[in-house]
Every structure is written in C-alpha cells, then in structure tokens.
Chain A
Amino acid sequence: MADDEQLRAALVEDLDAGFEAVVRAHSDVVHAVARRTVSRAADAEDLAAEALLRAYRALRGYSPARIEALTLRPWLLTILLNTARNDRRDAARRPRTDGVAPVPDHPASAPGPAERAESTELGDHLAALLAELPVAQRTAVVLRHVVDLPVAEVAVVLGCGEATARSHAKRGLDALRARLAPKETP
C-alpha cells in the first residue's frame, strides 16, 4: 500500500494513534478475509477484532526498527489466519457450552442476516463453493481474487513461494469454474 510507510511512521511516533490509523486503513481487507474464513457475519467481526488486538499486542513488544520493516497488510492477514486456526483448534478441543453451534472447518453456505443486501444469488452460490475448497486453495483465491492482493503478498501470507501461491490460486479458480460450469452452460 502506498501509505504503509506513513502508517509505520505513525506507529513508531505514537503506537496507539498509529494503530487506529492502521485499523482504519486495513479493517476492510482484514474483515473481508475474515468473512470468507468463518460461516457467520457476526463471527467474522469477532475474528477480525481479535486478530487486530493480537496485532496491537505484538506491536507493543516490537522495536521501532522492527516496525519500520513490517509490511502491514500481509502481516495483519497472517495474524488473522493464525487466529482463525487457533480458534478452530480451541473450538474442537472444548465444545462450546453457550448454545452456539461449533465452528465448522469450512464456512457454511447460508448467508448471515448482515449479508450485503445487494449480494446476488451467484455471490451466495460462489461463497458456498469457495467454502468447500481445500484450505490452501481457498485462502489463495480469497487473498488473490476476493481482496485483490498481489501474488507476492499472497505468498507471504501463505508462507510459500510465489509460484506455489499462484498455483494454489489457479487450482482453486479452476475448481470453482468447473463447479460453476454445469449451472452456467445448461
């Protein structure tokens, strides 16, 4: 992002005010990825908030030099996906007692009430198909094509090389296209 440098400088200058600016700048992308990681809209907001607070706690322990070296967007998304993985693992170990259904491994297809009004039938169908992809392909497609990250950042978040990231995204995209095809060409 063009203003990442300003955000990093703001963090070094005043961590809390800088962090608020980081949240304003990146909450949409963090939330969009969270939304495609969990089944319910409310869970997506919880997950995004938890991940951002973890990021803040990490930053508190970072030296100015380390903050200056951060690429904020992939760093935040890495924390988000780790948080989601930890939540799923905890949920599997300790069944919830508050009456809320356990977090499934794959997001469910049903749209939440907070789903955008303009969300199309194709969108709902696509969200369901996306949720069924293997996790690496799904994550690659979400990062590359839903939130439009450059391949280099996708690779950083996935912790793999750019070629592998590109291949995950392509195979995910091919799988989606194959499953959509019967519907679109009757």
Chain B
Amino acid sequence: MTDTLLTALRDLAEPAPATLADRVVDTWVRVPGPLGEVFAVTGARGVRLLRPAAHAGDLDAFLEGYRARHGRPVIPAARAPRGLLPALSGTGPGPDLDLGALTPFAREVLAVTARIPAGQTRPYGWVAREAGHPKAVRAVGTVLARNPVPLLVPCHRVVRGDGDVGQYLSGVPDKVALLEREGVELAHLAGLVGSDTTGVVCFPTCHHARRITTAHRQGFASLERARAAGYRPCRDCRP
C-alpha cells in the first residue's frame, strides 16, 4: 500500500505547460521599420515594446533599460513575432500586442488610436472623446507620448486640433515623415471639410472628404459652425 501511495503522489507532479517558459522570458528582435531599424521586445501575449533604433540608441542600453524597468529577462528571438514585419512595411494587420502593464485608460486610448486608418489623422480631443473621457485631452497626449508600441499603434496619426502636427516620441521630423509617407497633406489638417451636395462634414483627411471636388468643398472651423449651416457629421470619421 505504501508503494501505491508513493507512486500516486509522484503521479501528482504535473509537468509545466509549454507556455510557462515563454511567459517568463521575453525575446527581442532588430528589424527594418519605415524610418530605419526598430527594436522590439515580445512576451508570450504579444509585442510589449517597440522603439526606433535611432531613438533608442545602443541596443545594450535599450535592453538593460527594459530589464530594469520591467524586471523581466529578455533574450534574442529566433524570429520576428508573426505579423510584425508586415505591419512595419504597411502590408498587413499588426502582431498581437501585450499592453497589460498599462492603465485601462491608456489601453483605451491606444485602442482608439489603433483604429485611425493609414493616411488619416485625428485630433487629440477626438481620441479623448472616443476613449470616453472628452476632457482628458492632455492625458491622451501623455499616453501617446509614452506609447510602448509606436508604428504598431499609429500614434503619429494623432495631431493637434489647430492643424499643427504636434509632438512625437521620437521627434516631430519622424512624425512628419511618417504622415507624408502615408500621403497626408500636412498643410490641411485644421478644421473640417463639408460637401454641399451631401451635407456631410468630415475631418479633412477622411477618405470621404478627400473625394469632395473643389467646387463643392466647404471649410468649417468647428462642428458647431457646420451644424449651424445644416451639415451632419460623417459616420466614418465622426468629427
């Protein structure tokens, strides 16, 4: 009977699931991005951190900063996480992201930002409103300035309400270059644009707004002015 008990006890030693090691040890890659190489750190649930190499500086310093800040080991990856390279070259949806270390508000701001289509921009105030906190415009700026996964969550598509491109975590020239690469006309980011044939008013970069011919294009300084003139907001870009 002793043997039975001891054998049964040893049978209670379940081997660790294969996922355990991946949950503990993160991996890094250095891959090409739209403005030069980027460093990316990936955990079991997805990409946790991405930085342009030119901004992050020395690889060792970048990795040591990651270890010190997050208290997690990080070793070289065998290959880039699925979806990372297509996302960086603009040819596919992005990889899974692990944003679990962020606050719920920050996660919501990034989720809203991730839905801005390529080639379009939205003001900080719009992101705040869409995230359910219309007054938290400055807080949105703070969240985006610390975006752990720029390019994958396109914080470069969030600009100031007055038409200025605003700040960017690796510098304004990077933001300008990324937007120009997507075909955004930087001179025309301010205000709203309506069509006097449809009576719909859009953000200037909305794909509906870009189809309005010059003859029917009406500019508005604010949604209130557009509404006063009998226009309704676009259902896609929701100004």
Contacts and interface: CB of A to CB of B under 8 A. Distances in A.
Contacts of A36: 12
Interface residues of A, number: 45
A177 B1 contact: yes
Interface of A: 15-17, 19-20, 23-24, 27-32, 35-36, 41, 45, 48-49, 52-53, 56-57, 60, 114-116, 119-120, 122-123, 126-127, 130, 141, 145-148, 173, 176-177, 180-181, 184
Binding site of A, secondary structure by majority: helix, strand, loop or mixed? helix
A177 B9 CA distance: 11
B26 to A, nearest CB: 9
B55 interface: no
16 contacts: A17-B75, A19-B25, A20-B73, A27-B21, A28-B16, A31-B15, A31-B17, A41-B14, A52-B24, A56-B73, A116-B14, A123-B11, A126-B5, A126-B8, A146-B13, A176-B5
Contacts of B25: 16, 19-20, 23
Contacts, number: 103
A53 B73 CA distance: 8
Contacts of B72: 53, 56
Given A16-B25, A56-B72, 13 more contacts: A16-B74, A20-B25, A20-B75, A23-B25, A27-B16, A32-B15, A45-B19, A60-B71, A114-B17, A116-B14, A130-B12, A141-B9, A184-B1
Given A31-B14, A53-B72, A145 B19 contact: no
A181 to B, nearest CB: 8
Contact of A53 (B15, B19, B24): B24
Given A16-B73, A53-B72, A56-B24, A123 B12 contact: yes
